[in-house]
Chain A
Amino acid sequence: MRNLVKFILNNHFFLLFLLFEIVALTLVFQNNNYQKAFIFNVSRNISGYINSHISSFSKYLDLDEVNKALLEENTRLRNSLISSYKLKVPDPGNIEFDSAWTQQYNFIPARVISNSVNKQNNFISIDKGSLHGVQTDMAVISHQGAVGIVTGVSENFSTIIPLLNTDLRISSKLKNTGYFGSLHWDGVNPESAILHDIPHHVSLHRNDTIVTSGFSAIFPEGIMIGTIEDFEIKGGNFFFITVNLSTDFRKLNFIYVIDNIFREELMELDNSADYD
């Protein structure tokens, strides 16, 4: 016993080092991806509060650019408004279209308060939380295209796992042919990602558009992801496609969280299918 105490006292520096490393590395491995958002639920409130103050200062520097982007988006939306169209057919008959439609997606605007692009697993924090209707597994887009998925929510802030995170895969498809595959980031360049699982007989061209497939009930169908930068066949029957991301993650300022109103219904259907 005395020898043990002596041993511990003599080697306390090394033993303490081991202890701290074990604690720290446990933290690293236990919080690899989605659980990370859970652990930080408490601290998110504190750091979110501080970060929102920093970003409220720094957003002034980007005002010009943000205004321009919003203006462009408004123009596009105005152009697609029904009031900008003129009826081509003189008499459409008495068909009433209004009641045939119901809303499926609800958009929640939010501001980015912290963001990074230079890590392997980047995260984004935004200034809207459960009080504003944000829930986990909602899709996030910007005016340029897809951004990511909400992984953690506290009352006033949320954490987003963006496309620039090696843990995230998004189901996406070619806009013109409809072939789908899964898109993920390889951790190298914040401007491009990799699309897998497109069979090699599909004809591809540079600058073909990649959009979301809408299979996961998270993203609506047809949200812009990017364009094909390069492609090659790598081992087997599938293309290895480099996609130039349309969203500029370095300049992310305002984003929209998308609430799919029918998501619960879809999930219930999926779950009930499992029992059969």
Chain B
Amino acid sequence: MTKILSRNIIRIILLVFFQIFILNNLQFGGYVNPYFYTLFIILLPFETPGWLLLTLGFILGITIDIFSNTPGLHASATVFMAFLRPLVLDYFAPREGYVPGTFPRIYYYGLGWFFQYSAILILAHHFFLFYMEVFRLSDFLLTFYRVILNTIFTLFLVVLSQYFIYRR
């Protein structure tokens, strides 16, 4: 239990640092800014209670907000993503359910499962985030293009991280 707790605390700190110090300073093409910090919500244990999930999502989002001058924007998107997580997990559950003691990772449930699961969550997060940021429908297609482009980049980083950092 303490192991899981300490692991997640270290993970949230590392992800926030990585996001604000490196990814937020990435500027190619003017459109791309991957939001890799969403990995934290994706990797939380299956048993995480709902209230804790939402609270963690809010804290994570507001922390990112403080460092990128966007009060509430990332917080609302991350809470939305945390809200969808149990539904998505239910939808993709294997027939015999999730085995206790396992985590939502490629190592336990395979690449296909992990890809679908994280793709839907990241897409939802980015969709919410980018449309909230523009807050108008006049540039619908341009915003949609940004959502898709950034989802691809974030997803790429998330899947890649599973092979490099969390091999086990």
B66 and A43 contact, CB distance less than 8 A: yes
- Contacting B at CB under 8 A, from A176-200, are 187-190
- Chain A residues contacting B72 (CB-CB under 8 Å) are 23-28, 31
CA–CA, A39 to B66, complex, Å? Answer: 10
A47 and B67 contact, CB distance less than 8 A: yes
B33 and A27 contact, CB distance less than 8 A: no
B79 and A21 contact, CB distance less than 8 A: yes
CA–CA, A13 to B27, complex, Å? Answer: 37
Among A20, A31, A36, which residue has its beta carbon within 8 angstroms of that of B75?
Answer: A20
B32 and A118 contact, CB distance less than 8 A: yes
A187 and B139 contact, CB distance less than 8 A: yes
Among B27, B62, B66, B71, which residue has its beta carbon within 8 angstroms of that of A117?
Answer: B27
Tell me the nearest residue of chain A to B29, going by C-beta.
A118
Q: What is the interface size of chain B, counting residues whose CB is below 8 A from a CB of the partner?
A: 37
0/1 string, B17-49, CB within 8 A of A gives 1: 000010011010011110000000000000000
- Contacting A at CB under 8 A, from B89-132, are 132
- Of B21, B30, B68, most A-chain CB atoms within 10 Å: B30
B71 and A118 contact, CB distance less than 8 A: no
CA–CA, A27 to B132, complex, Å? Answer: 12
Mostly, the A contact residues are: helix
- Of A24, A40, A116, A117, most B-chain CB atoms within 10 Å: A24
- Chain B residues contacting A31 (CB-CB under 8 Å) are 71-72
Known contacts A31-B71, A36-B71, A118-B32: A21-B21 contact under CB 8 Å: no
Mostly, the B contact residues are: helix
0/1 string, B128-158, CB within 8 A of A gives 1: 0000111000010010000000000000000
- Chain B residues contacting A47 (CB-CB under 8 Å) are 66-67
Q: At the interface, yes or no: A206 with Cβ under 8 Å from chain B?
A: no
Known contacts A21-B76, A21-B79, A27-B75: A58-B51 contact under CB 8 Å: no
Q: At the interface, yes or no: A17 with Cβ under 8 Å from chain B?
A: yes
Q: How far is the CB of A116 from chain B (nearest CB, A)?
A: 7
0/1 string, A90-120, CB within 8 A of B gives 1: 0000000000000000000000000011111
Q: At the interface, yes or no: A250 with Cβ under 8 Å from chain B?
A: yes
- Of B27, B67, B69, B142, most A-chain CB atoms within 10 Å: B69
Tell me the nearest residue of chain A to B69, going by C-beta.
A123
Q: Which of B5-13, B53-61, B159-167 contacts A (4 or more CB under 8 A)?
A: B53-61
CA–CA, A47 to B83, complex, Å? Answer: 29
B54 and A20 contact, CB distance less than 8 A: yes
A20 and B133 contact, CB distance less than 8 A: no
Q: How far is the CB of B51 from chain A (nearest CB, A)?
A: 6
Q: How far is the CB of B67 from chain A (nearest CB, A)?
A: 5
- Chain A residues contacting B55 (CB-CB under 8 Å) are 16, 20
Q: At the interface, yes or no: A246 with Cβ under 8 Å from chain B?
A: no
Chain B residues in the interface with A (C-beta under 8 A): 21, 24-25, 27, 30-33, 50-51, 54-55, 57-58, 61-62, 65-73, 75-76, 79-80, 82-83, 86, 132-134, 139, 142
With A17-B82, A40-B69 already in contact, 5 other A-B pairs whose C-beta atoms are closer than 8 Å: A17-B79, A24-B72, A31-B71, A51-B67, A118-B32
Q: Can you give 10 A-B contacts (C-beta < 8 A)?
A: A13-B54, A13-B83, A13-B86, A21-B76, A27-B72, A28-B73, A51-B67, A54-B25, A119-B133, A250-B27
Chain A residues in the interface with B (C-beta under 8 A): 12-14, 16-17, 20-21, 23-28, 30-31, 36, 39-40, 43, 47, 50-51, 54, 58, 116-121, 123, 159, 187-190, 250
